[in-house]
């Protein structure tokens, strides 16, 4: 009989394209994945991996088995969801992904609420970038994710996923205190022509959004500093290294030497919970969404 965990390892390699990436998704070591595949090869009597340059690829036999494994995993998930729904109890394991500011600003309170209300629920949280979370929820690696997009640049949600709005997170301009516009009650992006900017790393949602937003206002962004954490961006603005646009959830601590000025028209990002539609009947999913909504309501601006 084929071992379920070994099939799961093979399926992860098929989905992610390498043993290392599969190990990261499964939260185990590459050695553990390789051992599972070696045992599966002995069980089936067929080679499953073959060399492909510096990496590996699945053999035809492995591809066939991985397809079956995908269907088996989907059936197991459906069975678990049906059983939990039948019992009506908030139990089992729930893995939640969150992008950095939500992991800091929303998840601690939500996890505490869930532990208090449902002590038999086994919780796990991982920090992920938004695009990766969407893929992992769709593939079943995450049960629930906190995702984000911007009001002027919405993100497409794959078919088969459901979401619930949690928070409309307003973003403001952060300026050095000595900036000529720092004393205004509000400003427009056009007022910041020729400014240098502090931004997230290229390829991230927030960097790409900033470039898109500035160019839509007919401003060509000159990015002087690229850092991903908002507290670091605020510190760089305080040091006079440029301006930044920072959402309010990312401003737990505002250093001296900066001024926060609202934008006209307002810019905001939408934060929402995301899960697979066929898992919606799980009481644990519903409980987690309720906890997140409660915490988000307290953080509302």
Return the minimum-mean-pLDDT range out of 89-98, 178-187, 194-203.
Answer: 89-98
Residue-wise pLDDT tens digits, 41-65? 888 888 888 877 666 788 888 888 8
Q: Comparing 16 with 126, which gets the higher pLDDT?
A: 126
Residue 297 contacts residue 168 (beta carbons within 8 Å): no
Average pLDDT for the chain:
88
Residue-level pLDDT at 169: 93
State the Cα–Cα distance between residues 39 and 34, nearest whole angstrom.
9
Could you please report the per-residue DSSP string of 161-216? EEEEEEEEEEEEEEEETTSTTTTSS-B-GGGGTT-EEEE--TTSHHHHHHHHHHHH
State the Cα–Cα distance between residues 118 and 282, nearest whole angstrom.
14
Residue-wise pLDDT tens digits, 121-144? 999 999 988 888 888 888 788 999
């Amino acid at each position: 009989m084929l071992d379920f965990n070994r099939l799961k390892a093979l399926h992860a390699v098929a989905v992610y394209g390498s043993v290392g990436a599969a190990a990261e998704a499964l939260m185990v070591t590459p050695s553990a994945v390789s051992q599972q595949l070696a045992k599966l090869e002995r069980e089936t009597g067929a080679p499953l991996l073959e060399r492909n340059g510096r990496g590996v690829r699945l053999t035809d036999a492995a591809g066939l088995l991985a397809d079956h494994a995908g269907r088996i995993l989907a059936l197991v998930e459906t069975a678990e969801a049906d059983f939990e729904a039948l019992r009506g109890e908030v139990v089992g394991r729930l893995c939640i992904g969150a992008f950095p500011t939500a992991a800091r600003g929303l998840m601690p309170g939500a996890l505490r609420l869930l532990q208090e209300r449902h002590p038999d629920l086994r919780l796990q949280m991982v920090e992920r970038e938004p695009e990766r979370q969407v893929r992992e929820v769709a593939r079943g690696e995450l049960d629930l994710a906190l995702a984000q997009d911007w009001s002027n640049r919405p993100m497409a949600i794959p078919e088969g996923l459901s979401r619930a709005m949690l928070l409309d997170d307003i973003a403001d301009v952060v300026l050095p205190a000595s900036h000529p516009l720092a004393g205004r009650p509000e400003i427009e992006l056009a007022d910041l022509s020729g400014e240098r900017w502090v931004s997230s790393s290229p390829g991230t949602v927030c960097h790409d959004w900033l470039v898109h937003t500035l160019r839509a206002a007919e401003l060509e962004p000159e990015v002087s500093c690229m850092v991903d954490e908002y507290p670091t961006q605020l510190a760089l603005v305080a040091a006079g290294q440029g301006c930044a646009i920072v959402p309010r959830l990312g401003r737990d601590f505002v250093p001296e030497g900066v001024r926060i000025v609202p934008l006209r028209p307002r810019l905001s990002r939408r934060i929402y919970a995301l899960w697979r539609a066929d898992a919606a009947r799980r009481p644990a999913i519903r409980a987690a969404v309720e906890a997140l909504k409660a915490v988000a309501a307290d953080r509302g601006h």
